[in-house]
Structure 1
Amino acid sequence: MSLSAPIYVLKRKAKQLSRASNIPLHDALDRIAVQEGFTRWSLLAAHAASVTTAAKLFARLTAGDLLLIGARPGQGKTLLSLQLAVEAMQAGRRSAYFTLEYGEREVASRFNALGVTSEAYRDLFTLDCSDAISADHIILRLMDAAAGTLVVVDYLQILDQDRAKPPLAAQVQALRTFARERGLLLVFVSQIDRSFDPDVKPCPDVGDVRLPNPLDLSLFSKTCFLHGDTVCFT
């Protein structure tokens, strides 16, 4: 879904609408968003951020990388991970998406929000919504994956839900070793703790990642945190 104008122009239009109609700016922003095909401004902003950020992120990823994408709900972390998959497929690489959070219809809807039809990349995209998702399951499914394949796990904490599976730290370590051996790019979408306060700092960081059980976050070679229009990449 393409915007009719750059986001800074749409913000300017919202400010003008706010003054002309004597309505709060957030209401004006939502009205502009509806005109652009989104139900609210936060979704429009997440869409715009995912497209521009994904291109920059993808250019900085190298074989064997583990990227952690963290944000509070509604800030665009899932859209960004899917846009990274699109970037990979546009480069002729395969992508795989492992999720217990969404079904096929929801993933297709998010592709549509990015202006992409999942059918366009049918031969390059694999979606796995199995209840058995774990490090062992992912590794088994990717045994024949070519180097350069981009793999998304949505989300990190979901690997920790089944107590019959190995601890989260062991699973991430296994996936890290596998990615480096096979030259894959692994992207983990992560929840952020509710204690994160945007009035204290503009963007979450590794200290805000929600971890019910211990995990050495240095296992991730790169991180990207989102909040509103702010993107923090290391």
Structure 2
Amino acid sequence: MRLSWPVYHLKRQARLLSRAVKIPLHQALDRIAAQEGFASWSLLAAKVAKTGPAASLFAQLAPGDLLLVGARPGQGKTLMSLELAVEAMRRGRRSLFFTLEYTQADILDRFRAIGVEPRQFEGRFEFDNSDVISADYMVARLAQAGAGTLVVIDYLQLLDQKRENPDLMIQIRRLRSFARDRGLILVFIAQVDRSYELSKKPVPDIGDIRLPNPLDLSLFSKTCFLNKGEIHFQAA
């Protein structure tokens, strides 16, 4: 299957179309899919999923892993993280999405953008956008989470914004220890510094992560960087 643009670019076109003509995102996605020869976005997304990277990436994750997913804005890091959550749920596991950025409606729209109807995973997916998200808060919320649960944290740098929270290094160390003890998979969405855009590298790397304060990035067991449809996965 060949598309006129990478999927992340088609999704961006749909978001722009949604705003321009004031229609729901799912309708805009269907219009973009029609231009690619599909009756609906869900059919396009299902076709892409069969050959997409999320299933392959998920197969390389193990309980206790901390995965860092990094990219510049608009390159698909949130959607990639949601696709990993979907892969977990398809295998009967639970997923949780902690965010200081999105509303629940935003996330439901993004599920539909990857061709997933959220109702099919009812009872397996939880969303939390509390204003007090921190390592301590997440550990308390995950107290009953079973081994293999996949947790998305959106996003790394926001854990570092409130002065009343411990230093980011302390928070990540606590989450790492908790994940290993409980057999959880933690997926951290991370911002890439804008200076990357001036480099000639096709895909960002660990040195491009934006860090206002010090953090030992070796605490993450695996990394995944995205740019213009390219994906680079690496185990530490």
Distance 2:164 2:221 in 1: 28
Q: CA deviation at 1:10?
A: 2.3
Equivalent residue for 1:10? 3
The one-letter code of the counterpart of 1:10 is L
Distance 1:37 1:162 in 2: 45
Question: Aligned runs of 1:115-134 on 2, under 5 Å?
Answer: 115-134=115-134
Equivalent residue for 1:173? 173
Equivalent residue for 1:64? 64
The share of aligned pairs that are identical, in percent, is 56
Structure 1 unaligned regions, length at least 5 = 1-5, 15-25, 39-46
CA contact under 8 A between 1:196 and 1:204: conserved in structure 2? yes
CA contact under 8 A between 1:50 and 1:79: conserved in structure 2? no
Structure 2 unaligned regions, length at least 5 = 15-28, 36-44
Return closer, same or farther for 1:212/1:70 CA change in 2, 3 Å cut-off.
Answer: same
What TM-score, normalized to structure 2? 0.81
- Secondary structure class of the residue paired with 2:131: coil
The one-letter code of the counterpart of 1:149 is T
Matched, 1:188 2:188: yes
Question: Aligned runs of 1:79-94 on 2, under 5 Å?
Answer: 79-94=79-94
Return closer, same or farther for 1:37/1:85 CA change in 2, 3 Å cut-off.
Answer: farther
Distance 1:151 1:119 in 2: 19
Distance 1:36 1:89 in 2: 25
- Secondary structure class of the residue paired with 1:232: strand
CA contact under 8 A between 1:49 and 1:229: conserved in structure 2? no
Question: Aligned runs of 1:1-234 on 2, under 5 Å?
Answer: 6=1, 9-11=2-4, 35-36=32-33, 52-197=52-197, 200-234=200-234
- Secondary structure class of the residue paired with 1:36: helix
Distance 2:120 2:216 in 1: 38
Q: CA deviation at 1:52?
A: 1.3
The one-letter code of the counterpart of 1:96 is L
Return closer, same or farther for 1:137/1:37 CA change in 2, 3 Å cut-off.
Answer: farther
Q: What root-mean-square deviation, in Å, do the aligned CA atoms of Structure 1 and Structure 2 show?
A: 2.2
The structure whose Rg is larger is 1
